[in-house]
Amino acid sequence: MSKGVDVVSDQVGHRAPYARIAAHYEELITSGQLQPGELLPSIKTLSQEWNVSTATAEKALRKLRTDGLVRGIHGIGTEVIDRPAPMSSGAQRQDRGRRSGSSWGAGERSDSHEAAVVPAPTGVAQVLDIAPGADVIRRRRVYRDRHGIVAHSTSWIPVQYGKLVPQLAESERLSGGTSLQLIAQATGLPITRRIDTASARLLTPADAELLELDPANPPAEPVVVMTAKFVDSGDHVVEYGVDLGGPGRTWLTESELAQ
């Protein structure tokens, strides 16, 4: 049966055609309607069913591969897989939130949203250029998929922004945009720079607690730690994000290269 673009337009809005196709199959995979080992339609079939070019169909399959939902098998096709998807950096989540309004990756949901005004740890204070122990907003949430925890994410935000955007200090999912979008709207200063880091380390007892693991029996493999510092047009650091990947998670990024 044809899965024409119009069939899913109400569900996925005004996304690019390749993104609509990818979103359709992401939903089938994450809901269990397509099981590991099953094959997706070929590029030619997708092109015909969705009335798009073969280049668009191929781009949709490439996005599903990048999101860790499928793999290409030479001479056979594109197979649904069952393995932990790569984690996203804070910067990637902000990009996703700006494009779609949600920071979730493929098949993800977030929970355990917690916010509080706390004393700034020394390392965080250095990044935010505030005194150690000064008040800072700490926002935490856990991203999960069908395999478990993808990442534990913490955002550190200078406390003055909580006066402009009170919901930043409330233990609920933000409404009306991402934290950066809400801050930029309140201050009138767009976010113009971000500085990203990525590293790996052995799991600490504190890490194990955040990832809901037994500190007495931590996994042997290292975990990925990613940070992102966001700076506005007035050269103010408005947020510092730290993402701790779940055991076995990797990080993947993809860029389009000019021809």
Identify the weakest region by mean pLDDT among 34-38, 90-94, 130-134: 90-94
| Element containing residue 117 per DSSP (H, E) | strand 109-119
- What is the third-level CATH fold of 90-245? Chorismate lyase (3.40.1410)
The residues spanned by each domain of the chain are: 17-80, 90-245
Half-sphere exposure (Cβ direction) of 215: Cα atoms closer than 13 Å:
7
Rounded to two decimals, the pTM is 0.72
- Provide the 3-class DSSP secondary structure of residue 41: coil
CB 198 within 8 A of CB 251: yes
The answer to whether 147 touches 106, Cβ cutoff 8 Å, is: no
Contacts of 58 (CB under 8 A, 6+ apart): 43
Instruction: Give DSSP secondary structure letters for 139-169.
Output: EEEEEEETTEEEEEEEEEEETHHHHHSGGGG
pLDDT tens-place string over residues 218-250: 777 888 999 999 999 999 999 999 999 998 888
CATH architecture of residue range(s) 17-80? Orthogonal Bundle (1.10)
Quote the percentage of the chain above a pLDDT of 90: 56
- 13-17, 50-54, 107-111: which range is least confident on average? 13-17
